[in-house]
Structure formats: structure tokens, C-alpha cells
């Protein structure tokens, strides 16, 4: 019964994460339409996406405080309300400035759920069984990206850029209902990570060297990963003489494959004893596969590459969220640990596209691929020094 209840909470939480990620990812598929509608240049339009990374960095530790003081139920509902309010402000404005403000409000919601979501899973699932739910959680961004890229053209063609806003807002409303009905904290004596405990100390959690090392490893991986994903379509369009739409289609398949891969890897992780070693291998393999992706001699390899990449791309994120709660000595500090790791996560997202883009533009796609491989190897080396703590499970 407890296991079934845990999965109900996890699925409602994951759906909330997906709904908020739809809000985050609604800009890119209709970027050209937005630029024309608001008469803005590429730099300004880029901030409509980049703002989320900045807000995520700022919100990471405050989200841990919200989690501890208000609890994951109220905190999660607040996250969804922020996204809904921000979406409604945005959909009715004709001002680029107001649209930016609305994106900041939405970003607060995404920043909250990034910490609250995996904290809830850590509360309901013991370490040995976190692999699958944490891996499915880790794929929520990929799922949202796939949905928005595949529906983007239809929604924008029929309803303008506002169609993307309405769709994401409706998903958040539905998620709000499910979250309110299904999500609650376990009793303190049944919690595997009592992040609501009065003993939670933000300063104590922030003193964990292992957590900061994990955050650094995450930042390095995200620089490589988001640099790759952001530029690979442009790379393929260039070297294979493809149209942008044709290249984007193959990138969209990454996300679909990533969802399947996350479930398979998650089920596997429940039987993996040394998850840190698994993560180190995943980082190394990602670095190698990025070289293959940006140096493919022929598009004939593309189908095999997309299938392999989906599993490689899901590897480290699945391990990351599973390990984060164990990077601190006390289970109740899991929320603080997630906040610290989210700082590295968002810094990597912010830095990856411009850094890898600048290197590739100056020295070519091959050197850009080498740069991605190098940061992944550095991430692997840093991960080696992360200490993982085992915790006692509460009595049944």
C-alpha cells in the first residue's frame, strides 16, 4: 500500500514537472513568430529562454527554504500557480518588457519544482528503489521539449504564439488539480528524507563538500550537453546541407528516445550497487558520442546515432538525481543538496550554448565537439571525488 501511494505521489509530481517544463520550453519552437510579433532582435528574444536559467540559479537555495518551511505540497502548488499567473500575464500582453516579467514569474515556478520534485521522491522512496522514479523525473525536460517541438508548428500556425502559451497554461492547471488531490508528505517516521524537519539547517547543508563537487560535475556536464543539443541541428544543417527543419526533426527524436531510455536506465539503476561509477562511465561515453555526432562523415549513420544518443543522454541525469540526496550526511538535508546541485545545473545550461557556440564558430565543429568531450571528462574526474552517504531506512 505504501509503495502504491509513493508512486501516486511520484507520478503527480512528475506530471507537475512536465507541465512546468512545457512553460519553460514554449519559446524556442515559436521564436521567429515572437520576434515578428514583438519586433525584437535575436539577442532580446534569446533572453526569453535564458531568463529561466538565471531565475533557476537565484531560486535554487530559496526553494530549499520554501520546501522546509511550507512543505512540498504547498511549495509545489505555489510553483504551478506562478506558472499559470505568468502565462496569463504573457498571453495578454503586447509589450516585450511585460513578456519578460511574465517569464521571470514563470521561472520562479520552475525553480521551485526543480528542488521540490526530487525531494518528494526522496521522501517517499528508499535509496535502493529511487532509481526508476528519479530517472523518470530526470526525463521530464526531455519529454516537454519533445511535446513542444512536435506541436509547436501546429499550435503556432493555428493560434499564433499565444497557442503555445495557452497549451502550457492548460497543462499547468490540470497538473495543479492532480497535485492538490494526490500529493502529500509521508509521516515523519515513514519519510526516507524528512526535508520538513525542524533540524534542517541551510548552512549545514551548504557545508557539504560532496554536494558542491556534485554541483560542479553537473555544471560541466550541462555545459557540454546543452552546448551539444543547442548547436547540433545547426551543425548537421551545415555539414550535411540539410534544411533547418530537417535537422530539427532529428533533434526532436532525441527527446522521445530519451524518455524510453530513462525508464530502462531507471529500472536498471535499482539493481546497480555503485551508482557513482555508473555516472562516471555515462559522462565519459557522453563525451565520446558528442565527438561522433559532430564529426559524422555521412547522414547514413543518423538513425543509429539517435538511438544510441538517447540512452547516453539519459545516463548521467538519471544517476544525478538519484545520488544528490545521498551527497549529504543527513537525509533531511536532501532539499538543500538539491538546491546546491540546481545552481550548477542552471549555470551549465546558461553557459553551454554560448561557450560551445563561440568555440565552434571560431575553430569549427570538430573543435567544438572536442570541447564538449573535454568538459565531460572533467565532470567525470570531479564526480570521482564525490562521497556518497548511506542512510538507515525508517522502520516499516
DSSP-assigned letters across all residues of 66-128: HHHHHHHHHHHHHHHHHHHHHHHHHHT---HHHHHHHHHHHHHHHHHHHHHHHHHHHHHS-GG
Average pLDDT of the residues in 11-34: 88
Cα end-to-end span (Å), the chain: 12
| pLDDT over threshold 80, residue 156 | yes
Helix (H) / strand (E) element for 348: namely helix 334-363
| pLDDT over threshold 50, residue 70 | yes
Instruction: Please tell me which residue, 216 or 269, carries the higher pLDDT value.
Output: 216
Grid cell 546546491 is found at 340
**What pLDDT does 359 receive?**
92
- The one-character DSSP state at 185 is P
User: What span, in angstroms and rounded, lies between the C-alpha atoms of 379 and 316?
Assistant: 10
**What pLDDT does 135 receive?**
84
Radius of gyration from C-alpha coordinates of the chain: 20
The predicted-structure confidence for 247-269, as pLDDT tens digits, reads as follows: 777 877 877 888 888 888 888 88
| pLDDT over threshold 60, residue 394 | no
The predicted-structure confidence for 315-348, as pLDDT tens digits, reads as follows: 998 889 888 888 988 887 888 888 999 999 999 9
Report residue 242's pLDDT band, with 50, 70 and 90 as the boundaries: confident
Grid cell 528574444 is found at 45
Average pLDDT of the residues in 42-68: 82
**Backbone torsion region of residue 40, taken as left when φ is above 0, otherwise alpha when ψ lies between -120 and 50, otherwise beta:** beta
| pLDDT over threshold 90, residue 171 | yes
Give the Cβ contact number of residue 81 at 10 Å: 16
Report residue 393's pLDDT band, with 50, 70 and 90 as the boundaries: low
**What percent of the chain lies above the pLDDT cut of 70?**
97
Instruction: Name residues whose C-beta falls within 8 Å of residue 87's C-beta, 6 or more positions apart in sequence.
Output: 23, 102, 106, 165, 166, 168, 169, 172
pLDDT averaged over every residue in the chain: 88
**What percent of the chain lies above the pLDDT cut of 90?**
43
**What pLDDT does 289 receive?**
95
User: What span, in angstroms and rounded, lies between the C-alpha atoms of 284 and 333?
Assistant: 29
The CA distances from residue 391 to 128, 149, 256, 269, 333, in Å, are 11, 41, 35, 18, 12
With respect to CATH, is domain 2-384 assigned 2.60.40.1120? no
Give domain limits for the chain.
2-384
The predicted-structure confidence for 75-134, as pLDDT tens digits, reads as follows: 999 999 999 999 999 999 999 999 999 999 999 999 999 999 998 998 999 888 888 888
User: What span, in angstroms and rounded, lies between the C-alpha atoms of 96 and 76?
Assistant: 28
Segment among 42-46, 115-119, 136-140, 348-352 with least mean pLDDT: 42-46
Contact assessment for residue 28 and residue 49, using Cβ atoms and an 8 Å cutoff: yes
- The one-character DSSP state at 193 is S
The CA distances from residue 374 to 224, 253, 302, in Å, are 8, 25, 23
**What pLDDT does 395 receive?**
45
Average pLDDT of the residues in 145-157: 81
The values of phi and psi at residue 206, to 5°, are -75, -10
Residue 195's nearest CA partner among 108, 82, 66, 59 is: 66
Average pLDDT of the residues in 154-178: 94
User: What span, in angstroms and rounded, lies between the C-alpha atoms of 12 and 31?
Assistant: 30
| pLDDT over threshold 70, residue 1 | no
Contact assessment for residue 370 and residue 218, using Cβ atoms and an 8 Å cutoff: no
**What pLDDT does 42 receive?**
63
| pLDDT over threshold 70, residue 392 | no
| pLDDT over threshold 50, residue 396 | no
Amino acid at each position: 500500500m505504501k509503495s502504491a501511494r509513493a508512486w501516486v505521489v511520484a507520478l503527480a509530481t512528475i506530471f507537475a514537472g512536465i507541465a512546468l517544463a512545457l512553460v519553460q520550453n514554449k519559446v524556442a519552437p515559436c521564436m521567429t513568430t515572437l520576434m515578428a510579433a514583438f519586433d525584437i532582435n535575436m539577442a532580446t528574444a534569446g533572453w526569453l529562454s535564458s531568463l529561466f536559467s538565471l531565475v533557476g540559479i537565484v531560486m535554487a537555495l530559496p526553494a530549499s527554504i520554501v520546501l522546509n518551511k511550507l512543505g512540498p505540497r504547498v511549495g509545489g502548488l505555489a510553483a504551478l500557480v506562478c506558472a499559470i499567473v505568468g502565462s496569463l500575464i504573457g498571453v495578454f500582453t503586447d509589450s516585450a518588457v511585460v513578456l519578460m516579467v511574465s517569464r521571470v514569474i514563470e521561472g520562479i515556478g520552475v525553480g521551485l519544482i526543480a528542488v521540490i520534485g526530487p525531494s518528494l521522491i526522496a521522501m517517499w522512496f528508499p535509496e535502493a528503489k529511487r532509481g526508476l522514479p528519479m530517472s523518470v523525473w530526470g526525463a521530464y525536460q526531455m519529454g516537454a521539449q519533445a511535446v513542444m517541438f512536435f506541436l509547436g508548428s501546429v499550435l503556432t500556425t493555428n493560434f499564433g504564439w499565444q497557442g503555445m502559451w495557452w497549451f502550457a497554461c492548460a497543462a499547468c492547471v490540470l497538473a495543479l488539480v492532480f497535485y492538490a488531490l494526490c500529493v502529500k508528505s509521508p509521516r515523519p517516521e515513514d519519510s526516507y528524507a524528512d526535508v520538513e524537519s525542524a533540524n534542517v539547517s541551510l548552512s549545514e547543508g551548504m557545508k557539504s563538500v560532496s554536494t558542491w563537487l556534485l554541483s560542479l560535475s553537473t555544471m560541466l556536464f550541462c555545459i557540454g550537453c546543452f552546448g551539444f543539443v543547442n548547436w547540433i541541428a545547426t551543425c548537421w544543417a551545415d555539414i550535411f546541407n540539410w534544411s533547418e527543419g530537417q535537422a530539427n526533426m532529428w533533434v526532436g527524436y532525441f527527446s522521445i528516445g530519451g524518455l524510453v531510455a530513462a525508464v530502462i536506465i531507471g529500472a536498471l539503476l535499482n539493481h546497480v550497487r555503485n551508482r557513482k561509477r555508473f555516472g562516471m562511465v555515462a559522462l565519459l561515453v557522453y563525451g565520446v558520442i558528442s565527438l561522433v555526432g559532430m564529426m559524422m562523415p555521412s547522414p547514413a549513420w543518423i538513425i543509429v546515432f539517435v538511438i544510441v544518443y538517447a540512452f547516453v543522454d539519459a545516463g548521467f541525469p538519471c544517476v544525478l538525481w538519484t545520488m544528490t540526496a545521498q551527497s549529504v550526511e543527513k537525509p533531511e538535508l536532501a532539499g538543500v543538496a538539491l538546491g546546491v546541485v540546481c545552481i550548477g545545473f542552471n549555470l551549465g545550461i546558461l553557459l553551454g550554448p554560448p561557450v560551445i557556440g563561440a568555440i565552434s564558430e571560431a575553430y569549427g565543429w570538430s573543435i567544438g565537439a572536442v570541447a564538449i568531450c573535454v568538459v565531460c571528462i572533467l565532470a567525470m574526474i570531479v564526480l570521482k571525488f564525490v562521497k556518497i552517504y548511506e542512510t538507515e531506512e525508517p522502520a516499516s
